[in-house]
Amino acid sequence: MAAKWIETLTGSLEQKKQYKQYKARIEALPEPYRTAAKAFERYFMYYGGITDGDTIVKMFGDFADLWERAVVDGTPVSAIVGDDPVEFAEMFTQAYGGTQWIDKERARLIKAIENAKEEERP
């Protein structure tokens, strides 16, 4: 019962647990994979804007899988991200869709304009 109340205030405890596991997986990567993964993670946080916890947890889990597989296969970082790391990052996040913070602002803008139009009518 207390866990449900806490989750109402703070968000899903399971998602927090999964995120911590993801962070530990990234920390366990050897260099240069760890540095690359952390750089992309930072970019995802700014660019991705995904607000749905389930989507974020899934995306980060898949991201850790990608880097762990690269380590096992000996795939160089350059072969994973290509010539344009920004394009790689943006394509990766777009594959997950989900609700983004900008969606709320778009809805707010549309509603404000609809209200303004209503006020214009005689």
Q: Where are the alpha helices (DSSP H) in 11-52?
A: 13-27, 33-47
For tokens 């700014």, the residue is 46
pLDDT at 60: 94
Instruction: Kindly compute the dihedral angle of the four CA atoms of residues 5, 10, 12, 13, in this order, to the nearest 10 degrees.
Output: -90
For 51, residues 6+ apart whose C-beta sits below 8 A from its C-beta are 98, 99, 100, 101, 103, 104
Q: Which domain holds residue 78?
A: 2-120
CB 100 within 8 A of CB 48: yes
Task: Report the distance separating Cα 37 and Cα 29, nearest Å.
Answer: 9
Instruction: Say how many domains are in the chain.
Output: 1
Reported pTM:
0.73
CATH number of the domain where residue 95 is located = 1.10.1900.10
Q: How far is Cα of residue 56 from the mean position of the Cα atoms in its chain?
A: 4
Q: Per residue of the chain (122 residues), what is the pLDDT tens digit?
A: 555 555 555 567 888 899 999 999 999 999 999 999 999 999 888 776 776 778 888 999 999 999 999 999 999 999 999 999 999 998 998 888 766 667 778 888 999 999 898 888 76
For tokens 């983004």, the residue is 100
